[in-house]
Amino acid sequence: MPRRSWKESGRAFVAPVGRGIAAAGISADAVTITGLLFAAGCGMFLAVGEGRIAAVFLVASALCDLLDGAVARARGGGTSFGAALDSTVDRYGEALILGGVLIDATVRGAEAGLLWLWIAALSGSFLTSYVRARAEGLGLRCDVGLMERPHRLVLLGILCLLGPPAVPVLLGVLAVGSHITFVQRLLLIRREGRSGRPAGG
Amino acid sequence: MPRRSWKESGRAFVAPVGRGIAAAGISADAVTITGLLFAAGCGMFLAVGEGRIAAVFLVASALCDLLDGAVARARGGGTSFGAALDSTVDRYGEALILGGVLIDATVRGAEAGLLWLWIAALSGSFLTSYVRARAEGLGLRCDVGLMERPHRLVLLGILCLLGPPAVPVLLGVLAVGSHITFVQRLLLIRREGRSGRPAGG
């Protein structure tokens, strides 16, 4: 599993920075919220067609997402609240970044087809994470999938840099890839699940 | 808790219909998927400005959502897959219905402000359910909240019937109500959670 070892080396790399931030008295949750503000900035700059500045904000947001876990570990482990805040902020950030893409596309007179593609990309991104959270609530592990968050972030970064001409292709890749992941995870639940149908909503 | 008893009486009311569908050999998952198709129809008709037909599709979709659980219970209880499918289809349906609102608003020349409001309404609806699923994954119950799915469905029904002039107000109510619910649930996790920071994504 190369992804595992990549994740492990990433953690080792940011651990000293995490310890430094923790030593300065800054909490993991504060780093998480800062990441959300950078994601909001990324969306705002995308909305006004400033893709390069948006890319800088996207990188800053991804760094915060990497660092909040390191700070939590340096402070002796995170909380359930920190874990829930971290995940929801990730989803929120993706909505804001894709929101910027939507606004820019609309200002440029996007057709209904592109808007439905945008809805498919956002829903797919969201459902990939939602179905995993539901699986964990049902007592199943669910970390398989073609397109996880790091891949989505790279796609969004390329989208920032290439700008409007690349938007249909990149939204298409995001929509198809995230839906494949979503279906992969649903099928995993079908294979592994046995009984119990708790309510959602 | 009036909501509980309302839910219980709703279940008792649809139980005979659920038994009839189950006796006809139709699975709960087939009913769930049928509900998604109706939600897609609702979104499509909203997209072309046919709110009244959309409202009929919305009611049909909500009925399927009520009935899939009844069919599962009539067949001796649901599966984890059925539970995950039911929840993800609910989220998907809301995205498709709000997608129709977005397309119609864009065709009518919506300003960026209304589009950001739409993004807030969709993100809030998603996050209300996502934070609950994450809480359950962390071993916490999380069924509190000002605006749960039945309230969102009623708002979407009103939106179908009143049409474009009512869209800004109803999106605003949906955005504010769902964000309050999302924050209520996050705060509940903060009060109840103790330790552990599993990864999301």
* Helix, strand, coil content of chain B in percent (nearest 5): 80, 0, 20
Q: What is the pLDDT of residue A13?
A: 86
Question: What are B42-46's contacts with CB under 8 Å, separation 24+?
Answer: B42/B93, B42/B96, B42/B97, B42/B100, B42/B160, B43/B96, B43/B97, B43/B98, B43/B99, B43/B100, B44/B100, B45/B100, B46/B97, B46/B100, B46/B101, B46/B103, B46/B104, B46/B160
pTM: 0.90
Nearest chain A residue to B44 by CA: give it.
Answer: A116
CATH number at residue B11: 1.20.120.1760
Most confident of A4-18, A174-188, B66-80: A174-188
DSSP B195: S
Give the residues of chain B that fall short of pLDDT 70.
1-5, 194-201
Distance CA B71, CA B94 (A): 22
Q: Are B186 and A81 in contact (CB under 8 A)?
A: yes
Task: Flag whether B142 is in a domain.
Answer: yes
Task: Indicate if the pLDDT at residue A195 is higher than 80.
Answer: no
Q: Which of A3, A106, A152 has the highest number of chain B CBs within 10 A, making it the mutation to test binding with B?
A: A106
Question: What is the Cα gyration radius of chain A?
Answer: 18
pLDDT tens digits along A122-175: 999 999 999 999 999 888 888 888 888 889 999 999 999 999 999 999 999 999
pLDDT tens digits along A66-122: 999 999 999 888 888 999 999 999 999 999 999 999 999 999 998 999 999 999 999
Contacts of B122 in chain A (CB under 8 A): 95, 122
Round the average pLDDT of chain A to a whole number and report it. Answer: 90
Angle between helices A167-192 and A80-107 (to 10 degrees): 150
Active site residues of B: 90
Q: What is the pLDDT of residue B198?
A: 47
- Inspect the interface and report whether the beta carbons of B201 and A106 lie closer than 8 Å: no
CA B176 to chain centre: 16
Phi-psi region of B109 (alpha: psi -120 to 50; beta: other; left: phi over 0): left
Task: Flag whether A63 is in a domain.
Answer: yes
- Inspect the interface and report whether the beta carbons of B130 and A195 lie closer than 8 Å: no
Task: Flag whether B198 is in a domain.
Answer: no
The fraction of chain A above a pLDDT of 90, given in percent, is 76
Contacts of A131 in chain B (CB under 8 A): 84, 88
Count structural domains, chain B: 1
| Distance from the A118 Cα atom to the nearest Cα atom in chain B, whole angstroms | 9
Q: Pick from A87, A149, A182: which is nearest to B134 by CB?
A: A87
| Distance from the A15 Cα atom to the nearest Cα atom in chain B, whole angstroms | 16
pLDDT tens digits along B99-130: 999 999 999 998 999 999 999 999 999 999 99
Contacts of B72 in chain A (CB under 8 A): 197
Task: Flag whether B197 is in a domain.
Answer: no
Domain of B40, in residue numbers: 2-192
